[in-house]
Amino acid sequence: MELTITKKIAKQGKNLVLIIPKNLHDFLNRGDLVKVKITQLQTDLRTEAENEQTNI
C-alpha cells in the first residue's frame, strides 16, 4: 500500500513527531516497518518572523 499524507510536525518534549491519523490505524500495526519521505512544503512562519527581527 502506498499513501501520501500531508502533516504538520508536532513537538513532544524535546522531540519532533509525526502523528499518524486514526483512520490509518486499520492499515498499520505496531511493529510495522514503513518508509517515510520528508519534503518540506513550508517553513515555520514563527521561525521566519524571529529571523527577520534578528536581522533588523
**Which tens digit of pLDDT belongs to each residue from 3-56?**
888 989 999 999 999 998 899 888 899 899 999 999 988 876 666 666 666 665
- 39 is a domain residue: yes
Please give the pLDDT value at position 2.
Answer: 86
- Count of domains for the chain: 1
Is residue 25 included in any domain, yes or no?
Answer: yes
Strand partners, 16: 11
Would you report the helix, strand and coil content of the chain in percent, each value rounded to 5? 25, 10, 65
Whether 4 is in a domain gets the answer: no
Cα–Cα distance measured from residue 24 to residue 32, given in angstroms and rounded to the nearest whole number: 13
pTM higher than 0.85: no
3-state secondary structure of 8: coil
Q: DSSP letter at 44?
A: -
For residue 19, tell me if it sits in a domain.
yes
Per-residue pLDDT at 10: 92
In a domain, 3, yes or no: no
3-class DSSP assignment, residue 26: coil
What is the predicted pLDDT for the residue at 41? Answer: 86
23, three cell numbers:
483512520
Which domain does 21 fall in, by range? 10-54
pLDDT for the residue 16: 94
